[in-house]
């Protein structure tokens, strides 16, 4: 029996004031305890889609509903946002706080008492060295910042998790640890999760379902097993651009 729908984009349209069209009649449904991976070329609007979902960027038209609440319901904004945790592509760590405070801040703010303990535990889970706990984000490498951001996202126990390129800029070993950690978190908390990535290995581990975003719409979506044997040309091109170019050359 399919679980209820947690997130629904209803014909969302977003064009920036400088004329960049990002979402065009964008429709998407994600069920509870389903993990969706979104693939797409760079600059196609994946990060903007997350921001639209969180109400950080206003849509021109259409609607987004998550957990039965609409994004533009300003009165229930707190409740709406409390369903989410998100890992930003850039990390978005607070540079006035130490690594540990960055992770515990959200917890303290939601009235959780042993915030520091949880923060330490999560930081160890993302394989961050203990010596880095008291450092400020500016003293960390890009990959370390990424891991702190991930720890911050999984420290909260929300209904919906959003990851924007969790493994970009990490070495393969850490990347695979992080991927497994995300999968474990999803399984443990039974939550609804959307991950943006360019990495098909990540998609294979994390995803239940995969969708490809292009031209402001989802142009392909299916179970993760279908990823490698689909004959959708756009998907094939995304997965294996060189092969595709060769084929078209032969033509």
Partner 1 sequence: MNLLANIGARTISMLVEAGKVAIFVSKGVWACCSWPLYMGELLKQMLNAGFFSIPIVGLTAVFSGMVIALQTYVGFAKFSGESAVATVVIVAITRELGPVMAGLMVAGRTSASIAAELGSMKISEQIDALEILGVNPFRFLVAPRILACLICLPLLTLLADVIGVFGGFLVGTTKLGFASRPYMTQTLANLAADDVICGLVKSACFGFTIAVFGCFYGFNSARGAKSVGEATTMAVVAACMGILILNYIVTAMFFGA
The CA distance from 38 to 218, in Å, is 9
Contact 183, 160 (CB under 8 A): no
Q: Minimum CB separation from ligand ATP for residue 45, in Å? A: 4
DSSP collapsed to 3 states, the chain: CCCCEEEEEEEEEEECCCCCEEEEEEEEEEECCCEEEEECCCCCCHHHHHHHHHCCCCCCEEEEEECCEECCCHHHHHHHHCCEEEECCCCCCCCCCCHHHHHHHHHHHCCCCCHHHHHHHHHHHCCCCHHHCCCCHHHCCHHHHHHHHHHHHHHCCCCEEEEECCCCCCCHHHHHHHHHHHHHHHHHHCCEEEEECCCHHHHHHHCCEEEEEECCEEEEEEEHHHHCCCCCHHHHHHHCHHHHHHHHHHC
Q: Interface with partner 1 includes 95 (CB under 8 A)?
A: yes
129 binds, among Mg ion, ligand ATP, partner 1, none (CB under 5 to 8 A by kind): none
If the CB atoms of residues 47 and 116 are measured against Mg ion, the closer one turns out to be 47
> Does position 92 bind partner 1 by CB under 8 A?
yes
Residue 13 binding: pick among partner 1, Mg ion, ligand ATP, none (C-beta 5-8 Å cut-off by kind): none
Cβ closer to partner 1: 72 or 171? 72
- For the window 34-53, what string marks contact with partner 1 as x by the rule CB under 8 A? -----------------x--
- Fill in the per-residue mask, 1 to 20: x = in contact with ligand ATP (CB under 6 A), - = not in contact: ---------------x-x-x
Give the residue, chosen from 43, 58, 94, 247, that forms a contact with partner 1 under the rule CB under 8 A.
94
Report, in Å, the least distance between residue 85 CB and partner 1.
7
Decide: is 58 part of the binding site for ligand ATP (CB under 6 A): no
Does residue number 233 form part of the binding site for ligand ATP (CB under 6 A)?
Answer: no
Candidate list 9, 30, 36, 46; residue touching ligand ATP; CB under 6 A: 46
> Contacting ligand ATP (CB under 6 A), which of 7, 9, 36, 45?
45
Both tokens of 5, joined, read: 């729908």
Q: What residues make contact with partner 1 under the rule CB under 8 A?
A: 51, 54, 56, 78, 81-82, 84-86, 88, 90, 92-95, 105-106, 109-110, 156
């Amino acid at each position: 029996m399919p679980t209820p729908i947690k997130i629904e984009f209803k014909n969302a349209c977003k064009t920036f004031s400088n004329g960049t069209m990002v979402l065009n009649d964008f429709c998407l449904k994600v069920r509870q305890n389903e993990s969706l991976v979104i693939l797409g070329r760079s600059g196609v609007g994946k990060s903007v889609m997350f921001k639209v979902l969180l109400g950080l960027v206003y849509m021109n038209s259409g609607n987004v509903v998550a957990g039965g609440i609409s994004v533009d319901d300003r009165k229930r904004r707190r409740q709406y946002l409390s369903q989410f945790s998100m890992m930003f592509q850039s990390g978005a760590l607070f540079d006035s706080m130490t690594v540990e405070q960055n992770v515990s801040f959200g917890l303290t703010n939601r009235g959780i008492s042993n915030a520091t303990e949880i923060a330490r535990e999560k930081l160890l889970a993302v394989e961050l060295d203990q010596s880095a706990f008291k450092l400020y984000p500016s003293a960390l490498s890009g990959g370390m910042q990424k891991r702190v951001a991930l720890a911050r996202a999984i420290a909260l126990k929300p209904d919906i998790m959003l990851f924007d390129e969790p493994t970009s800029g990490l070495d393969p070993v850490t990347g695979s640890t992080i991927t497994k950690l995300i999968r474990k978190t999803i399984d443990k908390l039974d939550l609804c999760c959307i991950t943006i990535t360019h990495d098909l290995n990540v998609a294979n581990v994390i995803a239940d379902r995969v969708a490809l975003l292009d031209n402001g719409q989802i142009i392909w979506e299916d179970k993760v097993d279908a990823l490698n044997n689909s004959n959708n040309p756009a998907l094939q091109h995304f997965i294996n651009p060189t092969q595709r170019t060769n084929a078209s050359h032969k033509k």
